[in-house]
Amino acid sequence: MRAGITSRAVIFGAAGIALVLTAAGCGSGSKPGSPASTGSTAAGSATSGSSSTASSSGSGAVDSAAAALVPAAIKGKGVITIATDPSYPPNESKDQNGNIVGWDVDMGNAIAAKLGLKANFTEVTFADIVTGISTNKYDAGMSSITDNKTREGVDDFVTYFNAGTKLMVPKGNPKNLTDNSPTDLSVCGLTIGVEKGTVQEDPDIPTRNKACEAAGKPDIKTLSQDTQDQINESLSSGRCDAVLADSPVVDYYAKSGNFQAVGELYSGAPYGIAISKSNNGLSQAFLAALKDLVADGTYHKLTTQYGIQAGDYTTPGLNQATS
């Protein structure tokens, strides 16, 4: 998911094109309570490969102009299948009943409602999202994916939120880390946890290691794991000294009392909803619906509900990455 938008490692799509996805965020076994999803998810657990269909959380009014842009095949089904990796609260996670919930879910449901459709959020390992979109297994990917030029070479991205990277440490900051910049030397020689496929894994860690080497300090040891929950468990157990993840996720887990954020966010970039380039009509429909949600106040209402309004992105667009 992530940034890790924004912020995951290099992922190869069906055509073999390397794609760096951002995703970072480290889940801990005990998650602070997240706001209840404004959509009502279907009953039953959403396990790997399964899905959770939810009704809209938007204003309920269909945007006829946006709906007219939806490709006929999707309009005929009445459902948009959206891939997500629900291990990244508050953006996407599971509730105690196994339903997929979170801010991305509520926003996706609101977009779908504007298009006269329903959203079917399907659990997918983060590294498999882009391949699934490229092969049309899923209509879109909405999983805290940071938009960048490399990814735009594979899929289209409808930008919708601003995020960056932050450092997270155990409560009390036992290593006295500072992380005042993306090349802060206080992390040199330490073990840093990141989620596989995120921008924190690459290019963030390699860039930091260049700074460490230039200062005559030892390289960072990278602990890359599949999910946010695994990384947070490693931080809790002392297997890693700190974690790099997307700013909304770090801020969320800092509220748990077990961890704390250190330093300011950096490498800010927009999250993007990934849609196949062969499905441009859907990209345009999503963009039109998102603009409507910004205009009618639904967008800000949802970000405020989750306490992430600092990342409001009020000028959504298509493929807006600058690097």
Confidence (pTM) = 0.76
Contact status, residue 279 vs residue 197, Cβ threshold 8 Å:
no
| Top-confidence range, 28-42, 140-154, 238-252 | 238-252
Residue 53 has pLDDT above 60, yes or no: no
Residue 193 has pLDDT above 70, yes or no: yes
Residue 87 has pLDDT above 60, yes or no: yes
CA 230/CA 236 separation, integer angstroms: 10
Q: Could you tell me what percentage of the chain is helix, strand and coil, using 3-state DSSP and rounding each to the nearest 5?
A: 30, 25, 40
Summarised one tens digit per residue, pLDDT across range 254-313 is 888 899 999 888 888 899 999 999 999 999 999 999 999 999 999 999 999 998 888 999
Quick one: pLDDT at residue 52?
52
Q: Where are the domains of the chain?
A: 34-142+272-310
pLDDT band at 59 (very low <50, low <70, confident <90, very high): low
CATH code given to domain 34-142+272-310: 3.40.190.10
CA 43/CA 54 separation, integer angstroms: 10
CA 143/CA 253 separation, integer angstroms: 18
Residue 42 has pLDDT above 50, yes or no: no
25, amino acid identity: G
Share of the chain above pLDDT 70, in %: 81
Quick one: pLDDT at residue 26?
34
Contact status, residue 166 vs residue 247, Cβ threshold 8 Å:
yes
Neighbours of 60 (CB within 10 A): 11
